[in-house]
């Protein structure tokens, strides 16, 4: 078993590659995952393009992609699997986090 902060599924890696290939700016290095205050349950996941690594970021290199983890999010993400789900009317990255104790009804926020 991997001791990485997060595990990236094949579907998530392929979607990240696709997103990065379509980035308008050529100097995008990867994506950065953070956890911020917000939503019904108190916390939400955020993903952004990353131009350069920030001090303290953890880097997950897997399946040909680089995912940077905000140091403030590490304790919230330990053991999480990052997936990508495509359904009939929507598609999104999904974080299967074993640390969650509650998730809001709309699925946009969580509590640890």
What pLDDT digit, counting tens, does each position of 44-83 carry?
Answer: 888 888 888 888 899 999 999 999 999 999 988 999 999 9
What confidence tens digit (pLDDT) does each residue in 2-23 have? 567 899 999 999 999 998 888 7
Question: In 3-state terms, what secondary structure has residue 2?
Answer: coil
pTM listed for this prediction: 0.81
Structural domains in the chain? Answer: 6-111 (2.60.300.12)
């Amino acid at each position: 078993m991997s001791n990485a902060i997060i595990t990236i599924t094949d579907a998530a890696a392929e979607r990240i590659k696709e997103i990065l290939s379509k980035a308008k700016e050529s100097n995008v290095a990867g994506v950065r995952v953070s956890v911020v205050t917000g939503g019904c349950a108190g916390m939400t996941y955020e993903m952004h393009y990353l131009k350069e690594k920030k001090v303290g970021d953890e880097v997950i290199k897997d399946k040909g992609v680089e995912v940077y983890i905000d140091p403030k999010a590490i304790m919230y993400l330990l053991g999480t699997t990052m997936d990508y789900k495509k359904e009939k009317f929507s598609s999104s990255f999904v974080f299967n986090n074993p640390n969650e104790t509650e998730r809001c009804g709309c699925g946009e926020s969580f509590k640890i």
